[in-house]
Amino acid sequence: MSEQARKTAEALEYLTGFGNEHSSEAVPGALPHGRNSPQRAPLGLYAEQLSGSAFTEPRRHNRRSWLYRIRPSAAHPAFTRAGNGALRTAPFTEAVPDPNRLRWNPLPDPAPGTDFLAGLWTLGGNGDATQRTGMAIHLYAANADMTDRVFSDSDGELLIVPERGGLLLRTELGLLSAGPGEVALIPRGVRFRVELLDGEGGAPARGYVCENYGQPFDLPDLGPIGANGLASARDFRAPVAAYEDVERPTEVVNKFCGNLWTATYDHSPLDVVAWHGTHVPYVYDLRRFNVIGSISHDHPDPSIFTVLTSPSDTPGLAGVDFVVFAPRWLVGEDTFRPPYFHRNVMSEYMGLIEGAYDAKAEGFVPGGGSLHNMMSAHGPDRETFDRASAAELKPQKIDDGLAFMFETRWPITATPQAAGAEHLQRGYDDVWEGLQRHFRA
């Protein structure tokens, strides 16, 4: 399937823009005009609204799409419980929150035949999915396509960050592809399945997922930066309508309040022939991020690298931010240029997509991750501190890595499987060992 999936991915077309009222039809005439729910929808299709926000939320936050499909989603048998595998959901009560700094190596390779859904493994999170607050951090490792089954998450939207191997995402609203250096977002409730773009039998596809239970990710306000900068709305790509007219049993797996439920439809539910709306999946290429930094001294707080933010009820306080550390120039004069030592009321999970990160000389590897919880002290390791304190401050390009952060307002509780994992690094504290005393009164 990989070769076919790759060809499909290379030929994809997209709609551009963030938060647009998009519309698309795979068959001319499938989309009704002038109304959403005509007495008889065109071409014998069923009209169905999918709401991602309450009907009455302000227009800026309102998310909904109208889908015109071969069968209504309602035509299905009862859902029954399925095993949750390595997926866990907030509230995370199986272990106590840990103030220690933690760092992991990549997930071990999965068993043969592991698809994206089966390969999801929860590291931790916060909040409460039933209250639509907080977030979870998952990793995935997969070596098989999802075949005749689709997934939908009622608990939150999924921000997928591939680290190794490209993904073809077949969603109700159409197809997207995302590889390392790109991110894909699947909105709450949208059904999708994942095919792998890189050869079967090769290295498994791997990556990270932020499951955001809270308000949908939005672009951050820019304040004094002005009308341009950071992620540009026009660089976000939504799919065009594409449908499957497949009359064979398809399993629909629904994550609902922390548990997986399954029902077998007698047809593919990816049967949306036309749609319009704002509740749409999208992809974004992180290499298009417009990195803004200091041209005098010091460097801004890392919030300047925010790609997407999930706002809370308190202005400026995010449920979760998605932040990228992309290639950039460092030119600060009389400035310690790597990230400074800090203790932060927000909690930080960092991952690495490729290369190296400028605050950690070693040990932080692609596919791995680190967790610096609320108020835990962290910053450059000893080697980085020594090097950066003595470096000649000529303009320097940081271009050998792509790191990201999920930064959240609440402490992150690691799952027991993460806190006790074989791939948890023992002795992470040692990277700050040997920071010499230099004080002289």
Helices (H) and strands (E) in the chain, counts: 3, 28
Ligand-binding site membership of 276 (annotated): no
Ligand-binding site membership of 68 (annotated): no
Q: Which among 299, 372, 423, 438 is annotated as catalytic? A: 299
Binding mask 303-342 for Fe ion (x = CB under 5 A): ----------------------------------------
Least distance to Fe ion from the beta carbon of 407, Å? 8
Q: Which residue has the tokens 């009321």?
A: 345
Q: Residue 35: left if φ>0, alpha if ψ -120 to 50, beta else—which one?
A: beta
Among 145, 157, 271, 348, binds Fe ion (CB under 5 A): 348
The DSSP-derived string for 236-273 is: -EEEPP------S-EEEEEEETTEEEEEEESS-S--EE
Point out which span in 256-264, 281-289, 325-333, 344-352 binds Fe ion (CB under 5 A): 344-352
Contact by Cβ (8 Å): 252, 149: yes
Q: What is the dihedral of CA 323, 324, 325, 330, to 10 degrees?
A: -80
Q: Tell me the C-alpha distance between 232 and 55, whole Å.
A: 28
Kindly tell me which of 279 and 372 has the beta carbon lying closer to Fe ion: 372
Kindly tell me which of 25 and 348 has the beta carbon lying closer to Fe ion: 348
Point out which span in 271-279, 343-351, 388-396, 420-428 binds Fe ion (CB under 5 A): 343-351
Least distance to Fe ion from the beta carbon of 68, Å? 46
Kindly tell me which of 178 and 307 has the beta carbon lying closer to Fe ion: 307
- State yes or no: is 299 an active-site residue: yes
Q: Which helix (H) or strand (E) holds 125?
A: strand 120-128
Ligand-binding site membership of 378 (annotated): yes
Kindly tell me which of 97 and 302 has the beta carbon lying closer to Fe ion: 302
Point out which span in 2-10, 265-273, 347-355, 356-364 binds Fe ion (CB under 5 A): 347-355
Cis peptide before 91 (omega within 30 of 0): yes
User: Is residue 407 close enough to count as binding Fe ion by CB under 5 A?
Assistant: no
The DSSP-derived string for 308-322 is: EEEE-SSTT-EEEEE
Binding residues for Fe cation: 342, 348, 378
Tell me which residues are annotated as active site: 299
Residues that bind Fe ion (CB under 5 A): 348
